[in-house]
Each structure stands twice: as C-alpha cells, then as structure tokens.
Amino acid sequence: MIEKSSTRRRAAVRKLLTFNMHSFKIKFNGKWSKKVRLSMIYSEAFEAMMRAEGLSEDVVHTFVNYYVKYVNGERGKLGRDMISPPEESKVENYGNLTNIDSSLFSKLVICKLNGGLGTSMGLTKAKSLLPVFLSDNNEEITFLDIILKQIIRLKENNKVNPIFMLMNSYNTNDDTLDAISKYNFLKEQSIAYHFIQNKYPRIRKSDNKPLDSEDKNQNWNPPGHGDIYTALSGSGLLDELLDNGIEYMFVSNSDNLGATADIKILTWMAETKIPFVMEVCQRTEMDKKGGHLAQDNTGQLLLREVAQCPDDEIEQFQNIKLYSYFNTNSLWINLIVLKEILISKENTMDLPLIVNPKVVDGEEVIQLETAMGAAISVFRGSKAIEVPRSRFIPVKKTDDLLLLWLGIYKADSEDNIVLNRAFKVKPNISLDSEYFKTVDDLYERIGKTKPNLEHCTGLRIQGNVFIGENVSMVGDVDVIGTDHPYTINNRVLEGYTLCHPSRI
C-alpha cells in the first residue's frame, strides 16, 4: 500500500513539473528556454537528494511545486494593485470577547515553534533554552521552563489536559528534548509532544542546480514555519490529534512570552465557527518593517511580508496608517478544516512563496520558504483579532532580553509574563549592536550588575561602555561612548547625553 502511494506521489510530482513547464512554454511563444529545460532535469536531482535524506513524498512534492514557481519567475510579490487594507468586519477586537467555555481546553493542542538556534545572539543551541530569568537561588529559567510551567498551571486551574507539542528542527531537537526531560507530565501525554520541521535543498542562483557544499549541512535550509502544516500531517500527528477529539490548535513562537492559550479567543472561535484566527496588534513606527495584514481583491485576508513587497512600494508598505495591523505569529487553527484542505490539495499547502537570497561559502544561493501566517489566505472565512500588546512580548535581540533580566517583566501568580508594576512604563531600550549583540556581551556589559531602571523611560547606549556597580537611570538616558572601554560606576544618569565618558 505504501509503495503504491509513493508511486502515485512521484507521478504527481512529474505531472506537476510537466504542467508548469508547459505553461511556461506557452508564455514564451512555445519555446522553452535553455534555463527552463535544464531546470526540468535539475528537479530530478533535487527529488533524488530529498528522498536520499528520507524526506517524504509530500515534502518532495511541495518543494518541487515551489521550485517550479521560482524557475517560472514567480517571486511571491504582492503589489498595491493586488491588495488593500482589511475591512473592519474582518478584524475583531479582543475587548469585545466575553464568553468563556473552559471545557474547550480539552479539544486544544498548544504548539510552540522551536526551530531557531538564536545565532543572532551568539547562541549555538535552541533559542528557547536561553535563560530569561534567574530565580532566587540563581537557577536559570528558560523560555521553555516558562512555557511548560504555564501548561502545568493551565491543567491545574481548569482540570483539563490540553495537549502540548513542540515543532523542533534538526538543529534544536536533541538539546530541547534533553532539557525538558525533567517534566514528567510530557512523558505521560497520550500523544507525542514533539515533531521535526522538514528541510529544503538550497538552490544555486547561477544555474538553479542544488548546492553541493563539502559541508553537507550547508546544502539544506529550514523551509520557514509555513512547513508546520506539511510536517504535522506527514508525522501522522494531525490524524492522531483528530482521532483523539482534538479539534483546535494554538500555535505561536517560543520566544513570544506573551503568547498564552486564551480561553476567550478559543470560545469565540468555536462559537462563530471561524476556521483560522490570526492575532494581530496595531503597528507602530517600531513595527513598520515587519509584515502586515491585508486583503486581496476578492476580500480574502492575507499576510504580506517585506520580501513580498515590490521594491518601489516599500514606503507604502511601511505606512502604518494605511496598513494598521501586524501579525504576532500567534494563530488559532481548526484542525478539521486543515485536514479537509490538505486532502483537497494532495497533502500540500500551496502558500505564497518567499524567495530568500543568501550567500553560503561565497556562493549565492536561493532559499525557498513560506510563512505559517500566510495560510490565512487559504482558509476561507478566516479572521484576525486585535489583541493587546501584553500578548506580544518577543525576544529577538539583546535589547529585549535586558527587559527581562532587569525585572521590567516578571512572572505573575499564574506564571504569565507581565509588566512589573514597579515600573510606570516599559522603557525603550536600544543597545549598540557592535558591543551588545550577543548574550555574553550583554551579561558582561550590563547584565551582571543590573542597574536600576525603575524610573527610566528610555535607554540608548552607543560605544564600548560597561555599566558597573550602583548605577540608576532616570528619565530618558543616552550613554554615548567611544571605541575605548569605559565603565560607569556609582552614578545616577538622568535626562542628558553622555557624549564622552570622561565627562562623567
């Protein structure tokens, strides 16, 4: 049976490739370009490469689909003539939700995206294993510790057992499973609590062939979190969840400490029979470079990332009054509808393509990726919900991490991360990326001494600066040093710019 299914899938791949190349031939007056004809041959090399790696036929089929689109010249661009801001009726406000049905937690799976290594902050392991707090006895508390404590609290408070899952990558799986082995409730869960994201071959930009690096790991790239649908289905977990009465999934980034399973959203989704809900926030100047919510010419909601914006429309893309909402990457998905969509699409999700150029070992390559939130355009009747910023507390840079290390955010009695009441406002922090880029840099320069920011509204540090002992900051503070190291000790910095550390 498996052999027949595999044969059918391979035939589907060849049919897909031939059909798309035929369309390309028609577009160019019946002549296949040399590049396209060679790409037909190269696709077989990609297929063989993926099968040798043990990737399923569904993954092969999905990649070839995107590869053919790329060869045909598709770049996933969405111009102003194709989209418009979303209608008000398509965006609910969280403040309008009142109904609560806690029994729905028994039909929910909570999934966290856990594929990132956090290399931008100098990490070589799963980013979710980064310590975000230190307990009273100096025990390190990681992202995953916080997430799993929240799951335990949810179980205790509601007398239900929602399923928990992690989508790991090949790079994060082993470290993650080792770190969370102390949580016994995961071992008692009836359904597996982790699955692995797939991977795609990198494409040489010069000739559309597979990259063939001596370091074989460099030949592959993560396919983006849009792969979650294929990975969940291919692992068999989607069917297992449905067989066990699990109808809904809440999925979010593991580094968003505000993304918790909210019963009001789940109840609203179930009562209104909405198949797909995206949590969004109002864009500010700080968010204008990220993706935004929009709708197509038929009124279907969609997500546009900056890579999908034509170069001459960037200014409009960043207009926060025109496009007011950004995607927090916290999604609520009806799994029954997801299964129906996958069946209708031969177990693939044809999401908008993101073409990501990279350089590997001096070679220009192309990574084909998709975004998880882009599925909002696939689910008919999908909606967005505007949530408060308290549900979006991402840690992308050391600037964000410092807010946690200095106690500006803390865990409340329910283990939810909230703004510390001792702070009137959350200070805006901007640290020199040359000197404060990595976690180790942050700890050595400011983290271990923990200056007092209780009355600080903004902190910007430029230059080779160390914050030493007994330092408090009041109001809006700029610390501007030079390339020479300088340590500030025993000072109250208030409302002025330090152009030269020697003036302190």
pLDDT tens for each residue of 316-326: 999 999 999 99
Rounded CA separation 267/280 (Å): 18
CATH number of the structural domain spanning residue 445: 2.160.10.10
CATH number of the structural domain spanning residue 173: 3.90.550.10
Q: What is the mean pLDDT of residues 90-102?
A: 97
Q: To the nearest whole number, what is the mean pLDDT of the chain?
A: 89
Check residues 400 and 24 and name the one with the higher pLDDT. 400
Say yes or no: 364 and 247 in one domain: yes
Say yes or no: 325 and 409 in one domain: no
Query: If pLDDT is split at 50, 70 and 90, which confidence band does 448 have?
Result: confident
Least confident of 27-31, 122-126, 441-445: 27-31
Say how many domains are in the chain.
Answer: 3
Q: Would you state the pLDDT for residue 264?
A: 98
Q: What is the mean pLDDT of residues 395-421?
A: 91
What burial letters (b/e) apply to 162-188, b meaning 16+ CB within 10 Å? bbbbbbbbebbbebbeebbeebeebee
Strand runs labelled E in 85-188 = 91-93, 108-114, 131-134, 140-142, 163-168
State percent of the chain over pLDDT 70: 89
Instruction: Give the residue from 391, 426, 458 where a domain finishes.
Output: 391
Q: Would you state the pLDDT for residue 134?
A: 63
Say yes or no: 183 and 115 in one domain: yes
Q: Would you state the pLDDT for residue 27?
A: 41
Instruction: Give the residue from 376, 391, 406 where a domain finishes.
Output: 391
Rounded CA separation 219/201 (Å): 6
Task: Express each pLDDT in 219-278 by its tens digit.
Answer: 999 999 999 999 999 999 999 999 999 999 999 999 999 999 999 999 999 999 999 999
Identity of the residue numbered 18:
T
Name the packing angle between helices 2-27 and 34-52 (round to 10°). 160
Pairing of the two strands 452-462 and 471-480: parallel
pTM (2 decimals)?
0.90
Q: Would you state the pLDDT for residue 221?
A: 95
48 has pLDDT over 60: yes
Query: If pLDDT is split at 50, 70 and 90, which confidence band does 138 have?
Result: low
396 has pLDDT over 50: yes
Say yes or no: 434 and 286 in one domain: no
Task: Express each pLDDT in 162-190 by its tens digit.
Answer: 899 999 999 999 999 999 999 999 999 99
22 has pLDDT over 50: no
| Residue range(s) defining the domain that contains residue 337 | 83-391
Q: Would you state the pLDDT for residue 339?
A: 97
Name the packing angle between helices 57-71 and 34-52 (round to 10°). 160
Q: Is residue 192 part of a domain?
A: yes
Say yes or no: 66 and 94 in one domain: no
35 has pLDDT over 80: no
